[in-house]
Each structure stands twice: as C-alpha cells, then as structure tokens.
Amino acid sequence: MEIKNKIIDVKNLVRIIYIIFNNHPHGNAIANACEMLQFLNDNKTIEIPQTILKSFPRIKSIKQ
C-alpha cells in the first residue's frame, strides 16, 4: 500500500508518470507490471493477452 500512495503522490504532481520494471533472467517484469497495473487501478479488471497468461500462470488470478 505504501508504494501505491507514493506513486499516486507523484502522479498528482505531474502530467505523465512512467513506472519501469527491471527484468531478471526469468522475465518477470511483465508479470510484475500487470500486477502493479491492477493494484493501481483499485483491483479493477485489466485485459492481459493470452500469450502473457500462458507464460506467467501466476497472474491468472488477476481479474479479467
């Protein structure tokens, strides 16, 4: 929750905000970004391509 508040604070000060996820050998940056996107959208439904869901089954729990 703390990171969400910090991101919202910054977003309220600027017109555009970019959040960058550092990748690692297993390529989890895209899965982490999907989780963060849903988190920042108050757990509202987000659309995730099937190819990403197939590669990262852990994010299947994200509402779609």
Tens digit of each residue's pLDDT (9 = 90 or more) over 4-50: 899 999 989 999 999 999 887 888 899 999 999 998 888 888 899 99
pLDDT the model gives residue 64: 59
**Residue 16, helix vs strand vs coil:** coil
Distances, alpha carbon 12 to alpha carbons 15, 53, 54, 56, 57, in Å: 8, 32, 35, 32, 33
> Could you count the other beta carbons within 10 Å of the beta carbon of residue 49?
10
This prediction has a pTM of 0.76
pLDDT the model gives residue 41: 87
As a whole number of angstroms, the distance between CA 38 and CA 43 comes to 5
pLDDT the model gives residue 34: 92
Higher per-residue pLDDT: 30 or 64 = 30
